Chain A
Amino acid sequence: MNTTEVIKLLAKRLDIPQREARVLLYAQFDAITRHLLEDHTVIQRGFGSFGVKETAPRRAYVPAKKAVCDIPAKRKVFFRIGKQLKEALAAWRPR
């Protein structure tokens, strides 16, 4: 499923035009993004939580180059699944 489909569904369910649905959708994720950039943890109850974690710098071996390289410290986004979503997905099986 891609953004367009999400927007279409949202517009249908809220009975609003798609361009409004698009604004609402993007506003929501932009808000989340903004908080992530400030290292906040965003918690969506029943869905999951988004957060940022910092990784330590480390040294890794690149098999292709047969060399060791340094990987700098980074910020990474993590998503932790919420309980309800997890239960809802329990029956899912890969095709």
Chain B
Amino acid sequence: MSSVYIVGADLIGFGRFPARSVPDLAAEAALLALDDCGLSIRDVQALYCGNLYQSAAMVGQRMLREIGMTGIPVVNVANACATGATALREAWIAIRAGVCELALAVGVEQMDKGLLGAGAGAGFVAEGVIGSDTMPAMFALIGQEHTRRYGTTFEQFARVAVKNHHHATLNPKAMYRVETPLAEVMNAPMIAYPLTRPMCSVNVDGAAAAVLASEAAVRRLGLRARGADPCLGDGERPLGAARAGHGGLQRGDAARGALGLGAGRAGAARSGPRGTARLLRDRRARSLREPRAVLRRRGRRADR
């Protein structure tokens, strides 16, 4: 069976956008991902759209109404925290099965403030009487299971949040981008022990999209030079290894530039499967060697 490639991926800047619609957020992400690989919505043969809060509202079809009603099959996916990942997996399955060659996977959510969970219904309210259904309380119990098994401490859990907040400072699309030192995390208001407020995910609006392609489509559309990796299930590489550069890559020379390849080697790399493998290998080695900033500079240069 041939491999499946992620040829384009991007996400919108996360934040709160009460004036915008869910399909609108999804459309922005979809267009960014298509731009990332230089393709059009007209190239897309199937859409897998992940959204939880409007799971009965046909978000995928409404998104296509905004960016291109091309008549392709649409599947709306809802799977709790794994909703977007499931949309991606379904796109992968469709291509892997040979049903289509190029699919778009989108994950989008627009959330209210406040604790996630079941909330109060009519009649008897179990919250507080028979445990708690808030997400922080549920995940606190899961954390406590880790403590039970491994002796994990409050401080160790807090350090995970410190690390995650640090990562956000490096991500221009994150909503909060502030360093959050250990003392601040540990002294913040407790939500459900051992989780303080900065250890809980912020409710946020956002969307991300990925364009997946079969090996044949990658060849036909000339996407090889983008250095897309086979993804998921091939057992070779984690999904996160799918991209080297960052944003707005084009086919051809610009993409090769973004991947840090000289023109001479790029010519060889394009000559066939073996060349592609070398390209991927070289790129991986390079991305391990070179600091992120260098890759980012290359990406910017390629954009011009």
Task: Say whether A and B bind each other.
Answer: no
